[in-house]
Structure 1
Amino acid sequence: MDLFVLETFLAVAEERSFSRAAARLHRTQPAVSQAIAKLESELGEVLFERSSRDGTLTDAGAVLRDYAAKLLNLRSEAESALTELRELHRGKLSLAANEYTCLYLLPLLDEYRRQNPRIKIAVRRELASRIPDDVLSHSVEIGIVSFRPEDPQVKSVVVYRDELQFVVAPGHPLAKREQVSIRELGTQNFIAHNVASPQRLKVVQAFKRHKTQLHMGVELPTIESIKRFVEMSNGVALVPGLTVQSEVENGSLIQIPIPELQLERKLRLIYRRQATLSHAARAFLEVVEAYAAKKGDPFCFQSERGI
């Protein structure tokens, strides 16, 4: 049933005149009459009393009038809802991140909320390895990962450059050193993350190249627990710099450079390459790009070519 034809029918019913309905709709009277005849033919019912000159409805016409009004009101509501989405007065931003990449998100989400306070934000915590699948399965629109996905259907944008940092407690014997070599770390007890990662493999390989034993005496499930355990003088750790900024600034952890171990880690926003992103998601990408331009390094916004 054509909504435009229903609009014509409702205009005749409300104006109680084919000519006044035509004037209201900026159409000719024959066009209005033709539209009503088409609707009556489609429904198999007479909608207006032909003997009446004031557009009196038949019983069938009276029933249809109520439903026509409801349908046209729904159309109006749908149009208003879509307008609100375009103008970011409603909507939802869905993201996936892990414990580490969530820290990158916080200042961006703060800026996004300032600009779009009515948009609901949902960040799903997920293992980094599963985030590309979440994006491809439409579970979330945007993911944040520290590796470049191999699937050509995934588009990636580098948004932050981080480095692995060696940290110790303030009372540790190495705390006052300006730098330390890998060979000096063979006797240290490392507090490690219990989830294997490409970054961890690079560390293991670096220690092997320097013929130095890597002792991972304790493995914990979160970066937060690793930091707290190091602060309690239970060992040392290698963690992303982003995760220890506040602790290094307040002195609860000491960061010491290792010249032979300078591992950069790039954070990326990823989304489906052929996706039509929601207005909320497109607005988020605009915030990320503007934030990078304003803050500069280590923030950035660089699209990577397809694989």
Structure 2
Amino acid sequence: MDLHQLETFLTVVEERGFSRAAARLHRTQPAVSHVIRRLEEEVGEQLFERTSREGTLTAAGELLLGYAQRLLRLRTEAETALDELRSLERGRLVLAANEHTCLYLLPVLDEFSRVCPHIGVTVQRALASRIPDQLLERVVEFGIVSFRPAGDHFRSIAVFTDSVAFIVNPSHPLAKEKHVSIRDLGAQNFVAHNVVSPLRRRVIETFEEHKTPLNMRTELPSLEAIKRFVAMGNGVALVPALTVQQELARGELVRVPVPELAIERQLWLIHRRHSTLSHAGTAFLRVVKALAVERGKPFMYRIEQGE
């Protein structure tokens, strides 16, 4: 039993006869009769009274009628839903980001919501190290990370350049300096992020290279907590510049350049290489690219060579 057979069956019922159904379907009456016979063979029941010329249904036909109508309505609903999906009238985009990289997404999603107002968006917070696995598990469609994942399972697009900011409270003795040397930081008490990351390792190695102590006396679980703690006058910190733009603008924190710690990092938009993007995902990429063209640095859209 297929939808074509059910459609023919419903047409015979609606037109109250085989000849009128054949005219509506632009087929011959024998062809319509053949389809109905095949349907009856498959269900194992006679569907129409043979003595009636008006397509009178048997009990089995009456029973099948309701199911046939429901199935064809479902087909119509499915076709409509797919059309809406293609035209971006429905759908949901699911991404993964951490506390840092989520901030890159805000202006992108702001524009995306204007371009595709009917698409729902979910940004799941995740450890950066877990995001590639979430992509492979198909939990999310895109991830934003500060490293390019190893292997050939992912397509990586550089979308933003961020730097490391040395921040202090406005009343801190170093706040008025135009710049400081890393050697001047050996006596400072650093408030650190307690999540192991490539940036943390690089900072530690840089202090070791310059034979300077790195006193991480306080470790906190989030960048937001670190910023607030430093703003209260407790120590100093190294954080992604993207995360302190508002505090610097409001004067709650001061950024002091440290030449030896002029570290820049790319943020990468990653997705599964060998899978078809959703219509919403394709539209999202168009917005990311358009925003990079419109705003310029530090925004960008550069597909890694070899991708």
Quote the sequence identity (%).
61
Give 2:100's aligned amino acid.
Y
Q: Which residue is equivalent to 2:298? A: 298
Question: What residue is the counterpart of 1:64 in the other structure?
Answer: 64
* Paired residue type of 1:278: S
Q: For the Cα contact (< 8 Å) 1:152–1:306, is it kept in 2?
A: no
- Normalized against structure 1, the TM-score is what? 0.97
Q: Which residue of 2 aligns with 1:289?
A: 289
2:265 matched residue in structure 1: 265
Task: Quote how far apart the aligned CAs of 1:31 are.
Answer: 1.6
Which amino acid counterpart does residue 4 of structure 1 have in structure 2?
H
1:47 is aligned to 47
User: Structure 1, residues 200-253: CA drift from partner, whole Å, max 9, x if none?
Assistant: 111111111111111111111110111111111111111101001111112111
Greater CA drift, 275-284 or 77-86? 275-284
Specify every segment of 5 or more residues in structure 1 that has no aligned partner in the other structure, as ranges: none
Native 8 Å contact 1:155 1:306 kept in 2 = no
RMSD of equivalent CA atoms: 1.2
What does the per-residue CA deviation read over 1:109-158, in whole Å, with 9 as the maximum and x for residues that have no partner?
A: 11111222222211111111001001100111111111111131111111
Whether 1:172 and 2:150 are equivalent positions in the alignment is: no
* Secondary structure of 1:99 counterpart: coil
Q: Structure 2 length as normaliser, TM-score?
A: 0.97
Cross-structure match for 1:77: 77
Secondary structure of 1:174's counterpart equals helix
Q: Aligned residue for 1:185?
A: 185
How far apart are residue 28 of structure 1 and its match?
2.1
Q: Which amino acid aligns with 1:108?
A: V
SS in 2 for 1:88: coil
In structure 2, C-alpha distance between the alignment counterparts of 1:39 and 1:52, rounded to whole Å: 18
* CA apart distance, 1:30: 2.0
The equivalences for 1:1-307 within 5 A come to 1-305=1-305
Whole-angstrom CA distance in 2 between matches of 1:25 and 1:276? 37
1:305 Cα offset (Å): 4.0
SS in 2 for 1:207: helix
Q: CA separation in 1, counterparts of 2:172 and 2:194? A: 23
Output the CA distance in 1 between the equivalents of 2:201 and 2:220: 17
**Aligned-partner Cα distance in 2 for 1:293–1:29:** 62
What do the CA deviations read for 1:87-118 (whole angstroms, capped 9, x no partner)? 12221111111111111111111111122222
Distance 2:208 2:67 in 1: 76
Q: Separation in 1 of the partners of 2:30 and 2:286?
A: 51
TM-superposed deviation, 1:76: 0.5
| Deviation string, structure 1 residues 144-190 (Cα, Å, up to 9, x no partner) | 11111113111111111101111111111111111111111111111
Structure 2 spans left out of the alignment, 5+ residues: none
The residue identity in structure 1 corresponding to 2:19 is: S
Instruction: Please tell me the residue identity of whatever aligns with 2:48.
Output: F
- Rounded to whole Å, the distance in 2 between the matches of 1:116 and 1:82 is 16
> The residue matched to 1:228 in structure 2 has which SS?
helix
**Partners in 2 of 1:262 and 1:222 — Cα distance?**
22
Instruction: Provide the rounded CA distance (Å) in 1 between the counterparts of 2:305 and 2:135.
Output: 18
DSSP-derived class of the 1:138 partner: coil
Describe the superposition over 1:14-68 as per-residue Cα deviations: whole angstroms up to 9, x where unpaired.
1012121112112222221111111111112111122222222122111111111
Alpha-carbon separation, structure 1, partners of 2:139 and 2:293: 30
SS at match of 1:48: coil
